[in-house]
Amino acid sequence: MFDKPNLQQFIYDLRQNEHIAHWHTLPERKAYYAAMPKSLDRRLRDVFVKRGIDQLYTHQRSAYDNVFLGENIVTVTPTASGKTLCYNLPVLQTIAQEPDARALYLFPTKALAQDQKSELAEWIEASGLDVNSYTYDGDTAPAIRQKIRQAGHVVMTNPDMLHSSILPHHTKWVSLFEKLRYIVIDELHMYRGVFGSHVANVIRRLVRLARYYGSEPQFICTSATIRNPKELAEQLTEQSFSLINNNGAPSGKKHLAFYNPPVVNPSLNIRQSASKEVRTIARQVLEANAQLIVFAKVVYVLK
């Protein structure tokens, strides 16, 4: 399809391809910043300084401010825009001020919980804060579970584990429920349909138990860009929410292309398998020395 092994040439040649039904280009977007909160703990501020950061993105600052106004928030910004900091920063700030405070993080999968634990661990280590962060799932060793129940400032789990292992044994989790300040729900858009209905009931049970033990936790949610994030958050939790969607993260130029696979059987109007076409295009992107992510229901190995 192209001669020069670079991305710009690939984009040019792809745009000329007869199977492109529509092409739309989004321009670059500059970053929008806000000042660091004056209330931010010195140890957390020092982490930013070490990383050469002296400002937050606008949505990160808005999330921080709204949380400390006592509001439930749902942050909706694109991928890789720094949404994780929208909950880690207020949670760590609260624990820095109140060492007994607790937070419960909910992720739809164990893999996501493990990824987020690593990022939070970096912040804890860099700041020197005395914060215990643990994942609690089916792979957690029995010997560690008791320690998590008693000393976990941040407990990361998933809805299934919350339903089957935490809530039925709430008397063992008194230390968590009595001081529960935040319930973080990441990937909010995943909780839809029948699965979302089940999770909604689990969350309502969680809130009732927290109130039974004398706490009234705030919700901090993040979601991919969906049409009705505030409505979804409120239906899922039966709480009022503030929407944070003033994305301040920069982005490069984006090309959106609709590709129609070629017809391989004109009489029956059958087109080439989309999976095969994706493999071909993906191989060409790699040959252009560009990074690539393919979203699909089946994993294919490029050879």
Residue 215 makes CB contacts below 8 A (sequence gap 6+) with 177, 178, 179, 180, 181
Give the Cα separation of 207 and 225 in Å (integer).
Answer: 26
Radius of gyration (C-alpha) of the chain in whole angstroms: 23
Tell me the per-residue pLDDT of 104-124, one tens digit each, with 9 for 90 and over.
Answer: 999 998 888 888 899 999 999
What is the CA angle 49-51-55, rounded to 5? 60
Q: Which residues in the chain land under pLDDT 70?
A: 1-5, 298-303
Tell me the per-residue pLDDT of 153-166, one tens digit each, with 9 for 90 and over.
Answer: 999 999 999 999 99
Please check whether residue 166 is in contact with residue 209, taking contact to mean a CB–CB distance below 8 angstroms: no
Indicate whether this model's pTM tops 0.85.
yes
pLDDT given for residue 296 in this prediction: 75
Three-state secondary structure of 83-149: CHHHHHHHHHHHHHHCCCCEEEEECCCHHHHHHHHHHHHHHHHHHCCCCCEEECCCCCCHHHHHHHH
pLDDT given for residue 302 in this prediction: 56
Give the Cα separation of 64 and 54 in Å (integer).
Answer: 15
pLDDT given for residue 300 in this prediction: 55
Give the Cα separation of 75 and 121 in Å (integer).
Answer: 22
Please check whether residue 153 is in contact with residue 132, taking contact to mean a CB–CB distance below 8 angstroms: yes
With CA atoms as reference, report the closest residue to 243 among 219, 263, 267, 260. Answer: 219
pLDDT given for residue 7 in this prediction: 86
Q: Which residues of 234-266 are buried (b: 16+ CB within 10 A; e: fewer)?
A: bebbebebbbbebbbbebeeeeebebebeeeee
What is the CA angle 163-166-170, rounded to 5? 120
Which domains are seen in the chain, by residue range? 7-27+253-287 (no CATH), 33-244 (3.40.50.300)
The order of strands in the sheet holding 180-185 is 133-135, 154-157, 102-106, 180-185, 218-223, 73-76, 242-244
